[in-house]
Amino acid sequence: MYRRVALQGKITGWLFEEKPGKRAKFGKYQDYFRSLVEHAREEDPKLVPSAVETTDFSLWRSLCRGAVLETTNHGVDVQVIELINRWRKKEAARGSEAGLPMRQVYTQVRSALPTMKEFPRAL
């Protein structure tokens, strides 16, 4: 984010672009992502146990699902997890009504920050 905003001066548009205005596909970064997972394992084996294959990781699903699983396992309330992940429903709606519960529609992010902090603490 620092490179994108401070060095490149970009404040709108896709974070990962193939060319200006065109979103890059996850597959383009898959091998690089897996090399970063391998590097993390080398730096601290507790982060990625040796029993886990780095080929099992995917930008498409690993990070979001892993975070939800970890926070669920650590007893984070379902409403907190839904609050953090409400962007998924908005993205899936693609411009139409997202079908969010009323508490999520009218919750201002700034007001929910104390509650939202429970999510990363469990990771």
Instruction: Determine the pLDDT at residue 96.
Output: 47
- Domain membership of residue 123 (yes or no) is yes
Average pLDDT score over residue span 108-112:
61
Both tokens assigned to 19: 């060319």
Please tell me what DSSP assigns to residue 85: T
Secondary-structure percent of the chain, ordered helix, strand, coil, rounded to 5: 60, 5, 40
Asked if pLDDT for residue 3 goes beyond 60, the answer is yes
104 close to 82: Cβ distance less than 8 angstroms: yes
Euclidean distance between CA atoms 120 and 51, whole angstroms: 25
* pTM of this structure: 0.46
* Domain boundaries, position 73: 61-123
Instruction: Determine the pLDDT at residue 79.
Output: 78
Strand, helix or coil for residue 105: helix
- Domain membership of residue 71 (yes or no) is yes
Q: In this structure, what are the phi and psi dihedrals at residue 7, rounded to the nearest 5 degrees?
A: -85, -40
Asked if pLDDT for residue 40 goes beyond 70, the answer is yes
Strand, helix or coil for residue 60: coil
Least confident of 25-34, 60-69, 105-114: 105-114
- Domain membership of residue 114 (yes or no) is yes
Domains in the chain: how many in total?
Answer: 1
- Domain membership of residue 53 (yes or no) is no
